[in-house]
Amino acid sequence: MNGRPRPLLVVHVIYRLDYGGLENGVVNLVNRIPAGRYRQAIVCLAGVGQEFRRRIRRDDVEVVSLGKRPGKDPAAYGRMWRVLRRLRPTIVHTRNLGTVDMQWVAVAAGVQRRVHGEHGWKASDPRGLGPRSLRIRRACRPAVHRYVPMSRDLARWLEAAVHVRPERIRQAYNGVDTERFRPATPVESAGRMVRIGTVGRLDPVKNQAALIAAFHGILERHPELAPRLRLIIAGDGPLRAVLAESVERRGIGSQVWLPGARSDVPALMRAMDVFVLPSLNEGISNTILEAMATGRPVVAARVGGNPELVVHGRTGLLYEPGDPAGLEAALEAYVATPGMGLDHGGAARERVVAGFSIDAMVRRYADFYDELLSARN
């Protein structure tokens, strides 16, 4: 025994540890914060996907599943209270609407410092303005010491809609592993077809249906492109069967690949020429950062935090949400001018390395936790 006190414990509370950008960010943070600075644990309300559990490389991180039932499950609050009383964390960090009410459980359990992160909104409430969700967030506001929105857009929403005072907000961008997500080598790049792709949860808010429609529209106007144009939609979720049916109904099954959830996302992104994020709304997209780190130009809807990442005309192209012609035009520009994609992809990689690395993200969070502990309120 060296007599040094144990590092303080941070408990991350998420709805489910499974496929998604929020969950990916938590795993990256847990793996990278030095063990000598903070201990960490993850509490999942509704379960743990084993693939994501295996991505946690540290054996000192406890992962707890509360087994919350769908809908209302009052007993889950009691289970959370017992877990927090056993773990005795100094900081509890909840994320998004599905966990914000656990802030009051943390108060009851005697947790000293409480943080809530906002990463984006649901498809059913794409601007976070639904009366019920606002009531819940405002009711939980007194229990939260600090808010961490992932984008400036989310920070403005917290002030305007949830009525959080600016001094309680610490905006922080996600980071990406620029070694894991790296550009393709010349051998990997040589002689490929033009592959347009996206990665993410197959959910209405991600709007992959618009990407399928745009791809089909390009093929209808330019049938000569069919032999060399391909679309990749990687991920899983409630809309997988619907999207697969749309592909077959349009007769483009031979050009579209829906591989499901993948463990080889870096290699998959290196196989793409253009990355697309057609979401109806976003906080700060991990997949955009990953694509940029991979040296891929990004086509994205001008929503949420996307314009904070993608510099239009330099690292990618932005189009107005709800404008299918704008999406098609952006994709056609890269298909017609491969050199533009290479230029934009190189600039995207430089931008991520300079300001959105995973090491920079970890430093921001560790410094934020330090500040939180020294704050008086």
In a domain, 249, yes or no: yes
- Contact of 317 with 341, CB cutoff 8 Å: no
Structural domain containing residue 208: 186-355
Whether residue 133 is found in the same domain as residue 151: yes
Task: Kindly state whether residue 180 falls inside one of the protein's structural domains.
Answer: no
- Residue at 90 is within a domain: yes
Cα 226 to chain centroid distance, Å, stands at 32
- What whole-number distance in Å separates Cα of residue 2 and Cα of residue 70? 47
232 lies in the same domain as 288 = yes
46 or 20, which is more confident: 46
Q: What is the mean pLDDT of residues 22-42?
A: 90
pLDDT, residue 188, reads 56
**Contact at 8 Å (CB) between 107 and 143?**
yes
Mean pLDDT on 231-252: 96
Q: Is 132 helix (H, G, I), strand (E, B) or coil?
A: helix
Both tokens assigned to 226: 């069919």
For residue 255, being part of any structural domain is answered with yes
- pLDDT above 70 (res 106): yes
62 and 87 together in one domain: yes
- Same domain? 239 vs 273: yes
pLDDT 10s digits, 68-88: 998 889 999 999 999 999 999
Give per-residue pLDDT as tens, 169-202. Answer: 999 998 999 999 999 876 455 556 899 999 998 9
Please give the average per-residue pLDDT across 125-134, as a whole number. 90
Which stretch, 30-39, 154-163, 277-286, has highest mean pLDDT?
A: 154-163
Largest Cα–Cα distance of the chain, in whole Å?
A: 73
- The answer for residues whose C-beta is within 8 angstroms of residue 10's C-beta and 6 or more apart is 33, 38, 39, 40, 41, 89, 90, 91, 92, 93, 369
> Do 313 and 245 share a domain, yes or no?
yes
| C-alpha distance from residue 96 to each of 118, 318, 363 (Å) | 5, 26, 22
My answer on whether 113 and 245 are in the same domain is no
pLDDT at 140 over 90: yes
Contacts with 40 (C-beta within 8 Å, 6 or more apart), sequence order = 9, 10, 11, 12, 30, 33, 61
Within a domain: residue 264? yes
- Provide the CATH number for the domain around residue 235: 3.40.50.2000
How many C-beta atoms lie closer than 10 Å to residue 149's C-beta? Answer: 26
pLDDT band at 1 (very low <50, low <70, confident <90, very high): very low
Report which residue type is found at 156. Answer: R
**225 and 306: one domain?**
yes
pTM assigned to the model: 0.83
On whether both 201 and 304 belong to a single domain, the answer is: yes
Within a domain: 4? no
> Is there a single domain that holds both residue 116 and residue 265?
no
Rounded Cα distance, 277 and 98, in Å: 24
Tell me whether residue 281 is in a domain: yes
52 in a domain, yes or no?
yes
Tokens read off for 326:
């704008």
What HEC string does 300-314 produce? EECCCCHHHHCCECC
Mean pLDDT computed over 278-303: 93
Query: Is residue 49 domain-shared with residue 190, that is, in the same domain?
Result: no
Residue 346 has pLDDT above 50, yes or no: yes
Domain count, the chain: 2
Mean pLDDT for the chain overall: 92
**pLDDT tens sequence across 321-337:** 989 999 999 999 999 99
201 shares its domain with 71: no
125 and 272, same domain (yes or no): no
